């Protein structure tokens, strides 16, 4: 099942008529930047905590890909409601000149932290393997296998470790 996509301008117009905007991104993404009128219901918890609406619901994520990929699940979470997807997500909303609320004091989103950490370890393993000892190439291989494992199973050990980092725990506790 696919949901009809709305432009930011059309979504804004429907919100002025009572539609509810639902942000399905994870809490760390939501804390960093969000649309002021949006209700936060992370995709990972949507089954346990669905948005309550019998009217019109517009779902959004960062770019629109997550909402499009999960359209059937999103539509099922609001039975009786007319459901839509915000085309292009919060990025398109911002690009259309519509308001967002940013908090640059919040840490980068957890997946971006994983990307930075994994990329840094792969680069270090490659450089050290070329300049110091070939055994350091194993570091790059280990990180690559970890990323494959995370993609196949949905469990990312690096994300679990980073979530416990002091800067992420302080940000989560503050909200």
DSSP labels, 68-92: HHTHHHHHHHSTTSEEEEETTHHHH
Whole-angstrom Cα distance, residue 50 to residue 78? 7
17 confidence band (pLDDT: 50, 70, 90):
very high
Average pLDDT over the chain, rounded to whole?
A: 90
Q: Which two tokens stand for residue 24?
A: 């399905």
CB 59 within 8 A of CB 83: yes
Residue 174 pLDDT greater than 70, yes or no = no
C-alpha to C-alpha distances, 86 to 7, 102, 144, nearest whole angstrom = 6, 19, 34
Whole-angstrom Cα distance, residue 23 to residue 44? 12
Helix (H, G, I), strand (E, B) or coil at 161: helix
Kindly list the structural domains of the chain, giving each domain's residue range(s) and its CATH number in brackets, ordered by start: 4-102 (3.40.250.10), 110-174 (no CATH)
C-beta atoms surrounding 134 within 10 Å: 9
Phi-psi region of 18 (alpha: psi -120 to 50; beta: other; left: phi over 0): left
Q: What is the pTM of this model?
A: 0.71
What is the percentage of the chain residues whose pLDDT exceeds 70?
Answer: 96
Catalytic residue selected from 24, 61, 92, 156: 61
pLDDT at 139: 96
pLDDT at 143: 96
The side-by-side arrangement of strands in the sheet containing 56-60 is 4-6, 82-86, 56-60, 20-23, 39-40
**Known catalytic membership, residue 61:** yes
C-alpha to C-alpha distances, 19 to 24, 40, 112, 165, 170, nearest whole angstrom = 16, 14, 31, 38, 34
Q: Which residue has the higher pLDDT, 143 or 165?
A: 143
């Amino acid at each position: 099942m696919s949901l009809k996509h709305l432009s930011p301008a059309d979504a804004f117009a429907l919100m002025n008529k009572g539609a509810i905007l639902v942000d399905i991104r994870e809490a760390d993404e939501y804390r960093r930047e969000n649309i002021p009128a949006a209700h936060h219901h992370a995709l990972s918890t949507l089954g346990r905590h669905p948005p309550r609406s019998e009217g019109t619901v517009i779902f959004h994520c960062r770019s629109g890909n997550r909402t499009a990929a999960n359209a059937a699940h999103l539509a099922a979470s609001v039975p009786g409601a007319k459901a839509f997807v915000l085309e292009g997500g919060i990025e398109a909303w911002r690009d259309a000149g519509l308001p967002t609320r940013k908090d640059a004091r919040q840490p980068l989103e957890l997946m971006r932290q994983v990307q930075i950490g994994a990329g840094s370890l792969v680069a270090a393993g490659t450089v050290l393997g070329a300049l110091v000892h070939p055994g350091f190439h194993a570091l790059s291989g280990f990180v690559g296998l970890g990323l494959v494992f995370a993609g196949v199973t949905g469990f990312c050990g690096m994300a679990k470790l980073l979530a416990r980092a002091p800067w992420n725990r302080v940000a989560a506790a503050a909200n």
